[in-house]
Amino acid sequence: MKAHFAVGALCAAVAIGNSAAAMASPADGPYLRLEGGLSLPGNLSTTNTTGPSFALAPKDGPIAGGAIGLRLAPFSIEIGADWMHATLTGSAPSLSGSAQNIPVMMNAYLDLMNGSRIEPYIGFGLGVTSLSLTAKSPSGSRLIDSSAHSFAFQPIIGVDFALTDRLSVGLQYRYVKSVDPWLTTTSGQRISVNNASHNVLATLTYHFFAPAASSAGAEIPAAMPAAAPALSLAPQPPAAAPLPPSITRAEPRMFFVFFDFDSARLTAAGKRAAAEAIASYRQEPSNAIVVRGFTDLVGSDAYNLELSKRRALAVYNYFAAHGVKPTDMGIDWKGKADPRVQTTKREPQNRRVEIRM
């Protein structure tokens, strides 16, 4: 029943999170995770003994720990450690005490990437856990004070919610099970206990690397083709007027405005790049400005086409609000077409609006 509740809570969180709008995603590279939550241990009843058996019933208790790992989407690998504590009662004989588990595990994950900031994953871990158990009789005499190390494993499911390109929060369920450890009572009796627990954790993950800084506002190299692809003009803003025959330009002026993953909001760097383009327009007015939006290659074609439209409109509206004549501008969006970097991963150089004058 405890396991069903834990898995149900996790699945509900994933379902709720999937309705949220996407925003950002962590980059590949090393990361550090902190975690904490609730441990729901199973009964520690003895299974093999060299004397009378014990019936040990631990209560739900806290779990806390962390991990350091490496993300190479869609895979991650890490080493982590946790501390679990539970008070316990027992019968035959009557006793009270506590149990402590410290698993140290090597975990591997597969991220179920879907092009949004909600990222489910599955994983599996192998390692060693240290179980320490103390128990006293009602009179206060110590019956058990023993610890043992044993091989352990843990299947894992979870979901991460990317707050920024570096910071994620999440919810995780794992089932930790070890080979039954052998403990020793104060009377010298050997007991083997069934050691397992269901664990639900909230996580906070910091990724050390963010996507490479984009060269926002840099002019396009001379090697770039001078001719622009044919425009599929938006119905809202007016189309870009053609250059008069008397005006010729060997090289167009071109600027880039880059965006966060799955976002059409202008960042501070994006506004600086747009401001450079506006300053160039004021210095040398042009009535043939093309604002063209693009996305990276993550996600569906239809979704990315709409996202590239929103990005292009964000720059178009910013220009119009800062003195660029709407009659001097045309707008276009290409979705996943014409990436600057050929990769199916989340590439910041592809999340852009190109401004061509």
The secondary structure of 124-193 as a DSSP string is: EEEEEEEEEEEEE-TTS-EEEEEEEEEEEEEEEEEEEEESSSSEEEEEEEEEEEEPPPEEEBTTS-EEEE
pLDDT, block means (10 residues), the chain with 357 residues:
47 43 64 96 79 83 96 92 92 83 96 79 97 89 91 97 89 95 89 92 92 41 40 50 50 89 91 91 88 93 92 93 90 93 91 93
Same-domain pairing of 176 and 262: no
Of the candidates 207, 239, 266, which is a domain's last residue? 207
Which residues 6+ apart lie within 8 Å of 306 measured at CB? none
**Residues of the domain holding 294:** 254-356
pLDDT of residue 48: 75
247 domain residue, yes or no: no
Residue 223 lies in a domain: no
- Cα–Cα distance, 108 to 209 (Å, whole number): 20
Give the separation between CA 195 and CA 35, rounded to whole angstroms.
21
Report if pTM > 0.75: no
Q: Is residue 87 part of a domain?
A: yes
Spatial separation of the C-alpha atoms in residues 337 and 128, rounded to whole Å: 49
Q: Tell which of 139, 173, 207 closes a domain.
A: 207
217 in a domain, yes or no?
no
Distance CA 283, CA 285 (A): 6
Answer yes or no: do 161 and 275 share one domain.
Answer: no
Question: In the prediction, which pLDDT does 339 show?
Answer: 93
Q: How far apart are CA 266 and CA 256, in angstroms?
A: 12
**CATH number of 98's domain:** 2.40.160.20
pLDDT the model gives residue 215: 38
- The answer as to whether 213 is a domain residue is no
pLDDT of residue 313: 94
In a domain, 243, yes or no: no
Q: What is the per-residue pLDDT for 287?
A: 80
Do residues 128 and 267 both lie within one domain? no
183 and 315 inside one domain: no
Quick check: is 229 in a domain?
no
Domains in the chain: how many in total? 2
Together in a domain, 101 and 167: yes
Q: Given this model, what pLDDT does residue 77 score?
A: 97
Same domain, 181 and 66: yes
Q: Domain holding 296: CATH number?
A: 3.30.1330.60
